[in-house]
Chain A
Amino acid sequence: MNAELFSPPILGLIALGTGLGIVVGAIPGLTGAMLIALSLPLTFAMSGDAALALLVSMYVGSVSGGLITATLLKMPGTPASVITTLDGYPMAAGGRPGRALGLGIGASLVGGLVSWIFLLLLARPAATWSTKLSPFDLFALVLVALVSIAAISERERGGLWRGLFSALLGCLFAMPGLHPATGEPRLTFGFVEMNDGFKLLPVLIGLFAFNQIIQDALKPTAAPETAASGNRDSLLVSVRDWLRQGGNLFRSSVLGTLIGILPGIGANVGSTVAYGATRSFSKEPEKFGTGCDEGVVASESANNATVGGALIPLIALGIPGSVIDAVLLGAFVIHGLQPGPLLFRNHPETVHMVTGSFLVANVIMFVFMLAAARWLVKLSRVPLAWLAPPVIVFCIVGSYALANRMFDVWVMLGFGLFGFLMNRFRIPLAPFVIGFVLAPLAEENLSAGLMASGGSWLPLFTEPFALACLVIAAAAAFLSIRKPKDSRLG
Chain B
Amino acid sequence: MIRLRHTFAFRAFLALVPWLIASTGAAAEEIYPDRPIQVIVPFGAGGNSDTVARVIQRAVADHDLLPQPLVVQNVPGAGGTIGSRRALHADPDGYTLLFLHEGIITARYSGAASWSWHDFEPIAATGRNGGVIAVAEDSPFRSLTDLLEAIANEPDTHTFATNIGAPAHFWAMRLENAKPGARFRYVQAGGGAARFHALKGGHVEATAFSVAEFLSYRDGGLRALALMAEDRDSTLAGIPTAREQGIDLVSSNLQCWWAPAGTPPERTAVIAEALRAAMETPEFREFAASQQIEPLFLTGEALEAELANRETEIAQVAPRAIAGLPNLPLVLALLAAVAGVGAFLIRPRATRQGKVGDSTLLPRRALGLVALTLGYALVLALAPIPFFWPTFAFLLATGVLLGNRHRIALPAFVAFAALVAFGLPWVFETVFGIALP
Which A residues have a C-beta under 8 Å from some C-beta of B?
37-42, 44, 131-135, 154, 156-159, 161-162, 164-165, 168-169, 171-172, 175, 177-178, 180-187, 192-193, 195-196, 210, 213-215, 217-220, 222, 263-264, 317-320, 323, 326-331, 333-334, 336, 338, 340-342, 383-386, 388-390, 392-394, 396-397, 400-401, 403-406, 409-410, 413, 417, 424, 426-427, 439, 443-444, 446-448, 450-452, 454-455
Contacts and interface: CB of A to CB of B under 8 A. Distances in A.
A164 B342 contact: yes
B343 to A, nearest CB: 4
B185 A452 contact: yes
Contacts of A319: 193-194, 196-197
A330 B346 contact: no
B383 to A, nearest CB: 12
B203 A219 contact: no
Given A340-B216, A397-B436, A330 B328 contact: no
Contacts of A331: 46
B217 A393 contact: no
Given A406-B437, A447-B188, A454-B157, 10 more contacts: A182-B321, A217-B369, A218-B361, A218-B365, A219-B361, A317-B200, A323-B44, A385-B403, A388-B369, A455-B324
B327 to A, nearest CB: 10
8 contacts: A44-B54, A192-B81, A196-B82, A317-B200, A393-B421, A393-B424, A448-B198, A451-B185
Nearest to A343: B219
Interface of B: 44-47, 50-51, 54-55, 58, 72-79, 81-82, 85-86, 110-112, 156-157, 159, 164-165, 185-189, 193-194, 196-198, 200-204, 215-217, 219-220, 290-291, 321-326, 328-329, 332-333, 335-336, 339-340, 342-343, 345-349, 356, 360-363, 365-366, 369-370, 373-374, 376-377, 380-381, 391, 394-395, 398-403, 405-406, 408, 413, 416-417, 420-421, 424, 428, 431-437
Given A326-B46, A327-B44, A333 B193 contact: no
Given A185-B112, A214-B366, A406-B437, A329 B46 contact: yes
Given A181-B322, A220-B362, A318-B196, A451 B74 contact: no
Given A162-B343, A331-B46, A439 B332 contact: yes
Contact of A159 (B328, B345, B348, B366): B348
Nearest to B340: A165
B111 A183 contact: yes
Contacts, number: 307
A344 to B, nearest CB: 10
A196 B80 CA distance: 10
Nearest to A387: B402
Contacts of B325: 181-182, 447, 450-451
Contacts of B398: 385, 388-389, 392
Contacts of B420: 389-390, 393
Contact of B333 (A172, A338, A386): A172
A413 to B, nearest CB: 6
A175 to B, nearest CB: 4
A18 to B, nearest CB: 18
A156 B321 CA distance: 47
A215 B366 CA distance: 8
Q: A-B pairs with the 4 shortest C-beta distances?
A: A330-B46, A385-B403, A455-B324, A196-B77
Contact of B50 (A169, A182, A186, A330): A330
Nearest to A408: B77
B356 A389 contact: no
Contacts of B46: 37, 40, 326-331
A192 B219 contact: no
Nearest to B336: A168
Contacts of A264: 194
Task: Count chain A CB atoms within 10 A of each CB in B85, B196, B339, B413 and give the residue with the most.
Answer: B339
Contacts of A397: 424, 428, 436
A336 B404 CA distance: 57
Contacts of B370: 214, 417
A386 B413 contact: yes
A323 B360 CA distance: 44
Contacts of A383: 402-403, 406, 408
Contacts of B361: 218-220
A413 B74 contact: no
Contact of B156 (A169, A184, A392, A454): A454
A389 B395 contact: yes
Nearest to A178: B78
Given A177-B78, A196-B82, A319-B196, A42 B201 contact: no
Contacts of B204: 452
Contacts of B73: 404
A366 to B, nearest CB: 27
A187 B432 contact: no
A393 B431 CA distance: 19
Given A218-B361, A219-B362, A37 B74 contact: yes
Given A178-B79, A196-B78, A455-B323, A401 B434 contact: yes
Contacts of A154: 348
A214 B329 CA distance: 31
A55 B212 CA distance: 24
A403 B403 contact: no
Nearest to A417: B370
A208 to B, nearest CB: 15
Contact of B377 (A38, A178, A384, A409): A409
Task: Count chain B CB atoms within 10 A of each CB in A215, A392, A397, A451 and give the residue with the most.
Answer: A451
Contacts of A133: 201
B216 A318 contact: yes
Given A38-B45, A393-B424, A424-B356, A135 B405 contact: no
A346 B417 CA distance: 52
Given A326-B44, A450-B324, A403 B75 contact: yes
Contacts of B323: 455
Given A330-B47, A389-B395, A451 B186 contact: yes
A222 B405 contact: yes
Given A217-B402, A396-B380, A180 B346 contact: no
Contacts of A168: 332, 335-336, 339
A426 B350 CA distance: 11
Contacts of A336: 290
Contact of B336 (A165, A386, A389): A165
A173 B219 CA distance: 41
B322 A451 contact: yes
Nearest to A331: B46
Contacts of A455: 323-324
Nearest to B221: A341
A345 B401 CA distance: 62
A336 B55 CA distance: 12
A403 B380 CA distance: 16
Contacts of B197: 131, 263, 317, 319
A218 B363 contact: yes
Given A131-B197, A175-B328, A38 B44 contact: no
A184 B250 CA distance: 28
A97 to B, nearest CB: 21
B335 A318 contact: no
Contacts of A42: 431-432
A220 B360 contact: yes
Given A38-B434, A214-B366, A413 B374 contact: yes
